[in-house]
Chain A
Amino acid sequence: SAVISQKPSRDICQRGTSLTIQCQVDSQVTMMFWYRQQPGQSLTLIATANQGSEATYESGFVIDKFPISRPNLTFSTLTVSNMSPEDSSIYLCSVDKGEGGHYGYTFGSGTRLTVV
């Protein structure tokens, strides 16, 4: 299965600023996924990033707030823009495992973001 390096591991940021999270995969993958996990909650999909096209955002998430880049098949970034304390969460990238048409995700190590 793929190995994903995600950074930063954690950060404390001032409200109104932006943070860019990076994920590097050790093999080429078609799709990369970005999740948010708010305190005490489960994982919520933010968007799906395909190489060479715009990311597909889930309901409730917009590109201006969470711009995503996918410059090649092994790398993606998620930016959390104009942060507020409500953005304090764990952010996770993941790639599909893709076995025989069934998808199970491998996750990066996560970024714990605290906005003050």
Chain B
Amino acid sequence: NAGVTQTPKFRILKIGQSMTLQCAQDMNHNYMYWYRQDPGMGLKLIYYSVGAGITDKGEVPNGYNVSRSTTEDFPLRLELAAPSQTSVYFCASSYTRGVKYFGPGTRLLVL
């Protein structure tokens, strides 16, 4: 199993550009999550999904959108990138609501 994979690993965006951060898991997990980690801080939940077709907002959803059309994939869309979205983004999944498997992260720099 590859576990949780994220692409790209690093990206530089210009202010106002858009992009999609990809997340995929091959463990047939129902629950998937997007977190962001600002420098020297803990992770904050952006969006989560409890199954295909079901998504909901976390603590910091503004400026982001998600979709969950399949069990495996949970992409995060940034529209009109802003410097405040400079962060490291982590995707995570779990079979139940318990132990999370985290991806390696995507580092995003908005200039």
Are A and B interaction partners? no
Q: Residues of A with Cβ closer than 8 Å to B? A: none
Q: Residues of B with Cβ closer than 8 Å to A? A: none
